[in-house]
Amino acid sequence: MTDQTLSERPAKIRSTLVDVAREAGVSPATVDRVLNNRAGVRSRTREIVIDTAQRLGYISEPAAFSPAAGGAKLRLDFVLPMGTNAFIKMLHAQIEQQGAARPDLDVRVATIEGFNPDSLARALYGLAGKTRGVGVIALDHPTVREAIRALSAGGVKVLTLASDISHVPRVAYVGIDNRAAGRVAGYILGRFLGSAERKKVALFAGSLSYRGHEEREMGFRHILAEEFANLEVVELREVKDDFEMAFVEASNLLDRHPDIAGIYNIGAGAEGIARALRDRNCAKNVVFVGHELSAASRALLLEGTLDAVIDQNPRVEAREALNILTHSVRGAPYEYHGPRLQIICKENLPEI
């Protein structure tokens, strides 16, 4: 192995943030602070990092990373659905908190009616000419796709959050692999329920207009067909992430199928389903799997009504969305470090 310096490497080898840090003699955290215009870095260190990053081909426009010095902040906008979805609320809070900690950014978050594609499209069109980047939890609908195309054509960088959307010029998708999440849910139910006899299971979704929910359903059904053919999906209900609607639909399901063995809740509304299970004294007899660790799902895990949640990290998603949009607007490369799937049960609940 030769003692070749990073700057002498063949051009085809793409440098990374860690390479820049090593060559500049600083930590990766310092490089990240410099390239994101954060405070706490001496001017000489900043110059060395920018020069090194440019020399290694990690950035192309060093002027874009110079201190703001009172200049205009980079405006980024996020459009999220309103409602009772705990994960969306946590993501909203993280975007605002992390955005407020970035002196180079002007981060704004708007909420719209979550399951109305026309409302979402109007909100996106309204951002044209006002912002440099947009993050959106998008319904996969023609009017929404056209709005994203229009923003992109106007030079706005767009990324999708939590649920992807097809055939649009987005710069990235930030979120978990939702098809894998559905497969994990099916695997948990299959292992808990066993394969000795036929059993009934049911699905609840927020809206299959969200590609993420559709992909979770697809993954769930696929693994049941592949490995747990004894499990029969008897119903799929959309509950718009609404607790009361989930309660009504779950109550009706239990009336029609008192022998239901398992429930997979693809979206929000777990409290409503849990209430229906408790009302019919079958909470301990039905395997119940849902998504996202929140105060409510933590309580349901502790009481034993909810058996497992498939969690993703809103803090990581907010961080990556802000970094990707910032780097994309500035024309700089960025290494994506997205959230990972985590299975949480009562026995491995993390500290609050």
DSSP per residue over 24-45, as a string? HTS-HHHHHHHHTT-SS--HHH
Could you tell me which residues come within 8 angstroms of residue 230 by beta carbon, excluding any fewer than 6 positions away? 195, 196, 197, 198, 199
Indicate the average pLDDT of the chain. 90
Q: Above 80 in pLDDT, residue 320?
A: yes
pLDDT for 260: 98
Contacts for 105-108 with beta carbons within 8 Å, 24 or more apart?
A: 105/73, 105/74, 105/75, 105/76, 105/322, 105/326, 106/73, 106/74, 106/75, 106/76, 107/75, 107/76, 107/77, 107/78, 107/322, 108/75, 108/76, 108/77, 108/78
Q: Thinking of the domain 13-65, which architecture would CATH place it in? A: Orthogonal Bundle (1.10)
Portions of the chain given CATH number 3.40.50.2300: 74-175+314-339, 178-311
Portions of the chain given CATH number 1.10.260.40: 13-65
- Residue-wise pLDDT tens digits, 281-293: 999 999 999 999 9
User: Domain 74-175+314-339 maps to which CATH number in 2.60.40.10, 3.40.50.2300, 3.40.50.300, 3.40.50.10800?
Assistant: 3.40.50.2300
pLDDT for 259: 97
Q: Above 70 in pLDDT, residue 2?
A: no
- Residue-wise pLDDT tens digits, 165-198: 989 999 999 999 999 999 999 999 999 999 889 9
Q: Kindly give the pairing relationship between strand 342-344 and strand 308-311.
A: antiparallel
Of the candidates 29, 159, 93, which has an alpha carbon nearest to the alpha carbon of residue 314?
93
The domain 178-311 having CATH identifier 3.40.50.2300: the answer here is yes
